[in-house]
Each structure stands twice: as C-alpha cells, then as structure tokens.
C-alpha cells in the first residue's frame, strides 16, 4: 500500500516537473504565436486562450482550435468571468482553419482522449488536463491549473 501511494506521488511529481520544464523551454524560444489545441475547442483550450491573452507579452498571438470543434461551453465563459476575463465572444475553431506557417508553439491539453495532430513546423508540447465534467467546480479546477501554468510561463 505504501508503495502504491509513493508511485502515485512520483508520477504526479513527474507531471508537475514536465510542464514546468516545458514552460521554461517555451520561454527560451520567445514564441510569436502560441496555439492551444484540444478536441472540441470548447473548454480547456478556450480557457487557456483567454488566460494567455491576458498574461502574454504584447505582440504575442494567442489562439486555440480543436480537431472536432463544437461550441464554447458556457461554464468556460462563466469561470473565466469570475476572474475578470471575458471570452463570451469566442467561438470554437477547427485546427484546419489555422495557418501552420505562423504558429511557433502548439500546446495540446487533451488527457483522456486522443490529441489532435497539428501539421506544421511548430514545436509541440503536451499539458494534459482532464476534460471538465458538467460540474462548475471541475471547470474551476482546470481554470486554476491553467492559470498557475500560464502565470509561470509568462512571468518575467
């Protein structure tokens, strides 16, 4: 039993170190365009786009897309509004509509589903986060994790 708990903590720590080291690499690359990618472009990638636009240096293009876009989940809009970020005008976009030539960095956010493929020369990073359920608190948890990671990424 002790061993299982230790393995879970080590696995969790590896995931934590992984996104931090990836964020450090992204900082070093000084990207001009970051694309957040998931399947539906309805929750995780939309929240990431909204938060990153608020935190990124001026001149950095931030966008999001999905392999099977649907519509922006109203809970995503609500939980970002709670922290003063308005994404009410966002729409779900297809990865096919993104010009691969202009993207420097792609961050995939999918966890339990197959991540979309992005064709282009952008550097790829994976920050797997669970797809929020219908519960508002699950959206807040994903928002808070994205906020923590993006503050780290964009801090000077």
Domains of the chain: 2-154 (3.40.50.2300)
Per the residue annotation, which of 23, 26, 38, 72 is the catalytic one?
A: 38
How far are the Cα atoms of 46, 85, 132, 139 from residue 136, in angstroms, in the given order?
15, 16, 8, 5
Cβ partners under 8 Å of residue 62, min gap 6: 33, 34, 36, 49, 52, 53, 56
pLDDT value, residue 66? 94
Per the residue annotation, which of 61, 111, 115, 141 is the catalytic one?
A: 115
Instruction: Give the H/E segment covering residue 29.
Output: helix 2-29
Per the residue annotation, which of 110, 142, 147, 150 is the catalytic one?
A: 110
Give this prediction's pTM.
Answer: 0.87
pLDDT digit of tens for each residue in the chain (156 aa)?
A: 333 333 333 334 344 458 999 999 999 999 999 999 999 999 999 999 999 999 999 999 999 999 999 999 999 999 999 999 999 999 999 999 999 999 999 999 998 777 777 878 999 999 999 999 889 999 999 999 999 999 999 997
Question: Annotated catalytic, 4?
Answer: no
Question: Annotated catalytic, 110?
Answer: yes
């Amino acid at each position: 039993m002790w061993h299982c708990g230790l393995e879970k903590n080590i696995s969790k720590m590896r995931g934590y170190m992984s996104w931090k080291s990836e964020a450090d690499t992204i900082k070093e690359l000084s990207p001009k365009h970051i694309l957040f990618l998931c399947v539906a472009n309805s929750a995780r990638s939309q929240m990431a786009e909204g938060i990153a636009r608020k935190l990124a240096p001026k001149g950095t293009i931030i966008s999001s897309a999905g392999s099977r876009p649907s519509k922006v989940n109203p809970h995503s809009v609500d939980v970002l509004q709670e922290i003063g970020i308005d994404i009410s005008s966002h729409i779900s976009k297809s990865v096919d509509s993104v010009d691969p030539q202009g993207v420097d960095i792609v961050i995939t956010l999918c966890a339990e589903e197959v991540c979309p493929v992005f064709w282009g020369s952008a550097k790829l990073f994976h920050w797997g986060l669970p797809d929020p359920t219908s519960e508002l608190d699950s959206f807040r948890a994903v928002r808070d994790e994205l906020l923590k990671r993006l503050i780290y990424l964009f801090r000077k």
